[in-house]
Each structure stands twice: as structure tokens, then as C-alpha cells.
Amino acid sequence: MPACTMGNEASYPEEMCSHFSQDEIKRLGKRFKKLDLDCSGSLSVDEFLSLPELQQNPLVQRVVDVFDTDGNGEVDFREFILGASQFSVRGDEEQKLRFAFSIYDMDKDGYISNGELFQVLKMMVRDNLKDWQLQQLVDKTIITLDRDGDGKISFEEFSAVVGGLEVHKKLVVIV
């Protein structure tokens, strides 16, 4: 793999607002450089997909989209650190739930619609389930969770079900 000579390793801007220490940021920086095969300064989906274990993860596209806060299709170093920070052991519950919510909320409008839930579920099962079976599951989930009857799931409705069960502790990667 090519080694990039770009970037000043010695200091990273404090306004990164992450949960990481300087030392952890340095290590993540090294990892970032290693993933950045064309030394462009940002990671494209293809560069993520160069990791064999990610190639078999059905939600990789969603995770990359959630990282990519400015929506330019690539993840720069700042987005990388901020994204990873949400998985830090020092992160709070709401941050993690927001991350999980964003996986479903594809158009980032603050609601999980029927179509969005269907698409994410489809990514996870591919052709192993028929569309009508999937649609059934989706409809059922929305009916169960939708309290205000608008046909969509808001973040409050989402956290009501998923939050408070300490489930967010599963979204932790210790650097």
C-alpha cells in the first residue's frame, strides 16, 4: 500500500470536538492514511470497500453516508474522527442513538419513513426475503412504534423503543 506523506502528524485542531485524546487521534490518523489509497485526503466508498471484511457488511454504504456529514460523497479526516467519536466509550447515549437513527433516516429529514425502513431492511436481507414479506415487517414495525400517527418514526419515537435499554452500549469500539 502506498504511504502518504501528506499531513502534519504532530498536532490536530482541538476544535475537533471528539471524545479522543491526542494520542488516540494520532493512531486514528495513521489508520486514515493507510486507508486513503490514492492520498486524496478523503476516503471514498471504494477505499472503504478495499477492506475485505467490510465488503461483506451489508450496511457499509449507510455507515459511510452517516459519516459524510457534508454530503460530498467522501469522508475527510474531520468527518472520520467525528464519526468514530460517536463510537467512543466516552460517548453519551443520545449520540449513539442519533447515529443509529441516521442509519435509517436516509434523506436526513429527521424521520424514518416507510420507504426508508424498507430500503435499509432490504440491504440487510437482499434476495433472501420476498418484497412483500419485507413490506409486512416494515408496516408492522411502523404501526407498533408510530405514536403520533403520522406514518413515520421520529427520533423521540425511536429512542422510546430503543433507548433506555442500555442497548447503546453495544455501539462502542474501544480505541
Q: Print the binding letters for residues 13-52 with other proteins: x by CB under 8 A, - otherwise.
A: ----------x--xxx-xx--xx------------xxxxx
Which position among 45, 60, 82, 106 is part of the footprint of other proteins (CB under 8 A)?
60
Q: Which residues contact 133 (CB under 8 A, 6 or more apart)?
A: none
Q: Is 86 exposed, middle or buried (0-12, 13-18, 19+ CB in 10 A)?
A: buried
How many residues bind other proteins (CB under 8 A)? The answer is: 53
Between residue 98 and residue 117, which ones bind other proteins under the rule CB under 8 A? Answer: 99-100, 103-104
Report yes or no: 62 and 48 within 8 Å, Cβ to Cβ: no
Q: Please, which residue, 139 or 150, has the CB nearer to other proteins? A: 139
78 SS3 class? helix
Which H or E element spans position 122?
A: helix 114-125
Is residue 54 a contact point for other proteins (CB under 8 A)?
yes
Between residue 116 and residue 175, which ones bind other proteins under the rule CB under 8 A? Answer: 120-121, 124-126, 128-129, 133, 137, 140-141, 145, 158, 161-162, 165-167, 170-175
In whole angstroms, the minimum distance from the beta carbon of 29 to other proteins comes to: 11
75 SS3 class? strand
Is residue 82 a contact point for other proteins (CB under 8 A)?
no
Closest CA to 101 of 123, 116, 81, 89: 116
Which H or E element spans position 42?
A: strand 42-43
Which H or E element spans position 153?
A: strand 153-154
Residues that bind other proteins (CB under 8 A): 1, 23, 26-28, 30-31, 34-35, 48-60, 63, 84, 87, 99-100, 103-104, 120-121, 124-126, 128-129, 133, 137, 140-141, 145, 158, 161-162, 165-167, 170-175
